Amino acid sequence: MKKGIHPDYHEVVFQDSSTGYKFLSGSTLTSKETIKWDDGNTYPLIRVEISSDSHPFYTGKQKFAKADGAVDRFNKKYGLSND
């Protein structure tokens, strides 16, 4: 890698604001706020609004609407049946 053109990649702790869930990951983000992690080291803390702990897709709370095709929508609109 060329020196001086890449951002500093280091370990940071991400914390979900809504659930308090924390995880350690590599990132180029920086923060003035720090936190002491389980391994005894201090890392920058990045607060996020949504993580895998609170996102509806990963928690199983996401609701899916039935996706009708174009033909089904046409038939519904004009009162036709598929019989």
The mean of the pLDDT values for the chain is 83
Region 24-43 average pLDDT: 94
Q: How far is it, in rounded angstroms, from Cα 29 to Cα 8?
A: 8
Average pLDDT over residues 72-83: 74
Is 60 inside any structural domain? yes
Q: Residues 35-45: what's their mean pLDDT?
A: 95
**Assigned token pair, 54:** 């609170």
Percent of the chain with pLDDT over 90: 41
pLDDT score at 56: 62
Question: Given phi > 0 = left and psi -120 to 50 = alpha, else beta, which region is 35?
Answer: beta
Do the domain assignments include residue 4?
no
Number of domains in the chain: 1
- Residue-number span of the structural domain to which 16 is assigned: 10-77
